[in-house]
Homo-oligomer: A and B are copies of this chain.
Amino acid sequence: MQFNQATDYAFRVILHLAGLPEGELANSQAIAEQQNIPAGFLQKIMRSLVKGELVKSYRGVDGGFVLATSAEKISLLDVIEVMEGPLDLQRCLKEDSACTKGCGRKCPVHASLAVIQANFTKALREVNFAGLVGKDKEER
């Protein structure tokens, strides 16, 4: 029960981009070096972030990446879902049919986990990268 390494890296990437001066873009080499992420793997991650529409890319000389929207509008959950797909603690919280016992909604474990999951995702949705980058700068 852990986020992927790629997701951890993606957090760093978004935080990095969120900390950039308005309008400035970062290329993958710079991100890789400053955030200490394997360059080749980072490129793969960047493509996920672009596909997931969290980041915009520009090719060619002086190309690079920028956030696709304001840091305030990007939450921890957004990054997680782009990197790992929807967050569902149990198979049967995604689709009822996934429960091999076929208890439908009657299983009390299911019911409890549904509530816990709702609170969990809410908490992840409430943290945005504008806030995070703010704390990051305080730190220094």
Interface residues of A (CB under 8 A from B): 1-3, 5, 8, 11-12, 15, 35-37, 76, 80, 84, 87-92, 100-102, 106-109, 111-113, 115-116, 119-120, 123-124, 127, 131-133, 135-136, 139
Contacts and interface: CB of A to CB of B under 8 A. Distances in A.
B3 A90 contact: yes
Query: How many monomers of this protein are in the complex?
Result: 2
A91 B11 CA distance: 13
Q: Is the interface of A mostly helix, strand, loop or mixed?
A: helix
B135 A76 contact: no
Given A37-B100, A116-B120, 16 more contacts: A1-B3, A1-B88, A1-B89, A2-B88, A2-B90, A5-B91, A8-B92, A12-B101, A36-B101, A36-B102, A76-B116, A108-B136, A108-B139, A111-B135, A112-B127, A116-B127
A35 to B, nearest CB: 6
6 contacts: A2-B91, A36-B100, A108-B133, A108-B136, A116-B120, A116-B124
Contacts of A11: 109
A139 B111 CA distance: 12
